[in-house]
């Protein structure tokens, strides 16, 4: 079975040094701007504080002048009052003298009248006119002084209120300026810190990308045996894109068509891979290719022989995969070197764990295809979407939707329809039906473990280096498994005369693996992972069809119905996962 990439490729920036210099220059300019703005604000605050102090001093001077003026007015009023009293006393003395004079004249006239002779004519009382002092002058003066005092007090109170309002307003403005200054400093500091953090993250990623928070886009397909299906991944909602111009729309449409063709070609190559694997394994009766010539097979079905076939296939893959990986992603060796230098045990555990689960899945699916028809084995293998959805629900809290539950029910029903007829009759070619069905179920469950661990490692390692490390780890696991002594039932059983055929079969399987990997990678680039995953659901149907056309491997109608139900159910899960982000975005 072929392994496909779970992500899309993404090149590292080539001008990282120039970007770092630009970011450093931006940080220096922002620091200079921050210091300039801070200095200007400090100057303004100092000037306003000095003006405030001057205003306070002016207010105190006005208050002192008011007190002096009030005391001077009081002293002036006191002097005028004394002068007025002296004037009143003079006027009173004149009045008293006039009254006394009148009394004396009147008394003298009376005495003269009584004596019978008149000394002189009566003296008129108006001879000495003396004006009478006004009786309400003191009250009027007191009222005027009181009114003047009240007017002055009112004026000074209004002046004091105005000065107080000006002072409070000035204080408020100073506080606002200080608040704005603090906010400006915080904004500039946050901006500088943000740029510095991004620069540090970029430097950290350049030194060790697995500790940085940079993530690669998650891309996957729903292929038969080695690719993480899109229906099992939480896909982030994206913003609706603007309508493209007619020329761009035509270009996108042509790329989409090319991607669909490439995805279909990848599914066809994978199906041919399964049929070739079926041909490579011996059966009771030799298989007839296209009804023209017989092929007896190379190895008998068994655990050890499956390990040997996997190792032969991986020898070819590891010889050609580095060249293909460098072509698809030039920075693959740089990322692998950083992975070894990172010391990230958690990431290494996920990478090696996913490779181990994929290794077990490959061995078991080889064992299943050797015992039951390839179409039935691949259909039963598709139990992994159910296990993966349930595992994602338990581990990540991604509860499946109603369509997801219905699709899981449909997959279960299809697996029952596809598997039960195999127990009712002997398997074609004399294989063990129980071992074949159990191995296919185990392969699907192991592949689900690979999918979940790959999903946990998503975002920390580019998909192409991840696939290369996976292939290398599977190669090591296969070699170690064959090196370890196994029991007679599990050990490889190979005739020395079949080694040339086994080597040729390994070369064919390895080339088909890489060819499928390349087609799948470009299909994801052109059509996207979602559409590629929908095309990948045709794996069981295409495998059954090619098995019938190439080696005349007939299937019962109930089995074909089960394969159709499984294909439609998995396709429904893929379409539902593809449409969900668009609904969220709208």
Per-domain residue ranges of the chain: 16-207, 262-585
Whether the CB-CB separation of 442 and 364 falls below 8 Å is answered with yes
The DSSP bridge partners found for residue 287 are 295
Structure tokens at 255: 């790329």
Print pLDDT tens along the chain (586 aa). Answer: 444 444 444 445 455 667 778 888 888 888 888 888 888 888 888 888 888 888 888 888 888 888 887 777 777 666 676 777 677 767 776 776 676 677 767 766 666 665 554 444 444 444 444 444 445 556 766 777 777 778 777 877 887 787 777 777 777 888 778 778 777 777 777 777 777 766 665 554 444 333 333 334 333 333 333 333 322 333 332 333 333 444 456 666 777 888 888 888 988 998 899 888 888 888 777 777 887 878 787 888 888 888 888 988 999 999 999 998 898 888 889 988 988 888 888 888 889 999 999 999 999 999 898 888 888 888 889 888 888 888 888 887 888 888 888 888 988 888 888 877 665 554 555 568 888 888 999 999 999 889 888 888 766 778 888 889 989 999 999 889 888 887 777 778 777 787 888 889 889 998 998 888 888 888 887 877 777 778 888 888 888 888 888 888 888 888 888 888 888 888 888 887 777 665 555 5
- Short-list 49, 499, 518, CA closest to 309: 499
- Short-list 509, 554, 517, CA closest to 536: 517
- Short-list 288, 284, 549, 541, CA closest to 428: 284
- CA–CA gap between residue 444 and residue 229 (Å, rounded): 13
Between the two ends of the chain, the Cα-to-Cα distance in Å is 39
Distances, alpha carbon 562 to alpha carbons 266, 305, 378, 485, in Å: 23, 29, 12, 40
- Short-list 229, 568, 535, 562, CA closest to 373: 562
Name the DSSP class of 136.
S
DSSP track, 291-340: TTEEE--SB-SSHHHHHHHHHHHHHHHHHHHHHHHHHH-TTHHHHHHHHH
- CA–CA gap between residue 314 and residue 467 (Å, rounded): 13
150 phi and psi angles, rounded to 5 deg: -65, -40
* 190-242 pLDDT per residue, tens: 777 777 766 665 554 444 333 333 334 333 333 333 333 322 333 332 333 33
Whether this model's pTM surpasses 0.85: no
Name the DSSP class of 398.
-
Conformational region of residue 409, where left means phi above 0, alpha means psi within -120 to 50, and beta covers everything else: alpha
123 phi and psi angles, rounded to 5 deg: -85, 125
- CA–CA gap between residue 552 and residue 94 (Å, rounded): 160
- CA–CA gap between residue 46 and residue 35 (Å, rounded): 16
pLDDT of residue 121: 47
DSSP track, 411-468: HHHHHHHHHHHHHHSPPTTS--HHHHHHHHHHHHHHHHHHHHHHHHTTTSS-HHHHHH
DSSP track, 37-86: HHHHHHHHHHHHHHHHHHHHHHHHHHHHHHHHHHHHHHHHHHHHHHHHHH
- Short-list 214, 195, 205, 185, CA closest to 24: 195
Buried b (16+ CB within 10 A) or exposed e, 250-287: eeeeeeeeebbebbbbbbbbbbbbbbbbbbbbbbeeeb
Three-class HEC string of 285-300: CCEEECCCEEECCCEC
């Amino acid at each position: 079975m072929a392994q496909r990439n779970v992500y899309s490729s993404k090149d590292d920036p080539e001008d990282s040094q120039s970007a770092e210099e630009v970011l450093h220059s931006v940080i220096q300019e922002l620091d200079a701007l921050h210091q300039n703005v801070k200095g200007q604000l400090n100057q303004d605050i100092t000037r306003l504080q000095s003006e405030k102090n001057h205003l306070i001093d002016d207010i105190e001077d006005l208050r002192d002048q008011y007190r002096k003026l009030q005391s001077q007015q009081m002293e002036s009023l006191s002097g005028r009052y004394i002068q007025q009293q002296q004037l009143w006393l003079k006027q009173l003395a004149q009045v008293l003298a006039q009254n006394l004079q009148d009394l004396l004249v009147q008394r003298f006239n009376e005495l003269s009248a009584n004596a019978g002779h008149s000394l002189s004519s009566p003296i008129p009382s108006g001879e000495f006119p003396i004006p009478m002092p006004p009786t309400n002058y003191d009250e009027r003066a007191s009222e005027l002084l009181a009114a003047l005092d009240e007017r002055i007090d009112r004026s000074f109170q209004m002046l004091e209120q105005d000065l107080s309002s000006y002072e409070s307003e000035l204080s408020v403005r100073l506080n606002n300026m200080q608040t704005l200054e603090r906010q400006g400093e915080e904004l500039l500091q946050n901006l500088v810190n943000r740029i510095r953090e991004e620069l540090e993250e970029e430097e950290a990623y350049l030194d060790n990308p697995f500790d940085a928070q940079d993530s690669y886009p998650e891309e996957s397909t729903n292929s038969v045996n080695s690719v993480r299906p899109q229906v099992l991944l939480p896909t982030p909602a994206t913003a609706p894109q603007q309508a493209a111009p007619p020329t761009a729309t035509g270009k996108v449409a042509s790329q989409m068509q090319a991607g669909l063709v490439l995805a279909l070609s990848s599914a066809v190559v994978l199906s041919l891979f399964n049929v070739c694997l079926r041909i490579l394994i011996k059966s009771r009766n030799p298989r007839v290719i296209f009804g023209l010539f017989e092929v007896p097979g190379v190895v008998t079905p068994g655990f050890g022989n499956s390990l040997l076939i996997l190792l032969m296939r991986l020898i070819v893959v590891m010889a050609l995969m580095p060249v293909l990986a460098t072509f698809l992603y030039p920075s693959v060796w740089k990322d692998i070197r950083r992975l070894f230098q990172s010391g990230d045990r958690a990431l290494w555990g996920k990478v090696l764990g996913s490779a181990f689960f994929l290794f077990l899945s490959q061995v078991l699916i080889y064992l299943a295809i050797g015992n039951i028809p390839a179409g039935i084995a691949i259909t039963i293998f598709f139990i992994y979407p159910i296990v993966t959805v349930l595992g994602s629900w338990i581990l990540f809290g991604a509860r499946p939707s109603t369509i997801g539950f219905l699709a899981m029910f449909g997959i279960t029903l299809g697996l029952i329809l596809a598997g039960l007829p195999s127990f009712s009759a002997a398997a074609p070619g004399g294989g063990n039906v129980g071992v074949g069905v159990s191995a296919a179920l185990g392969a699907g469950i192991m592949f689900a473990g690979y999918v979940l661990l790959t999903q946990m490692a998503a975002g920390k390692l580019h998909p192409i280096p991840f696939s290369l490390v996976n292939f290398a780890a599977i190669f090591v696991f296969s070699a170690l498994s064959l090196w370890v002594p196994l029991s007679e039932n599990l050990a490889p059983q190979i005739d020395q005369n079949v080694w040339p055929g086994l080597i040729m079969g390994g070369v064919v399987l390895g080339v088909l693996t890489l060819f499928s990997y390349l087609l799948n990678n470009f299909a994801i680039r052109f059509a996207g992972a979602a559409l590629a995953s929908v095309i990948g659901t045709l794996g069981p149907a295409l495998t059954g069809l090619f098995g019938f056309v190439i080696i005349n491997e007939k299937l019962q109608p109930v089995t074909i119905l089960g394969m159709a139900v499984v294909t439609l159910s998995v396709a429904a899960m893929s379409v539902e996962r593809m449409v969900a982000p668009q609904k969220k975005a709208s």
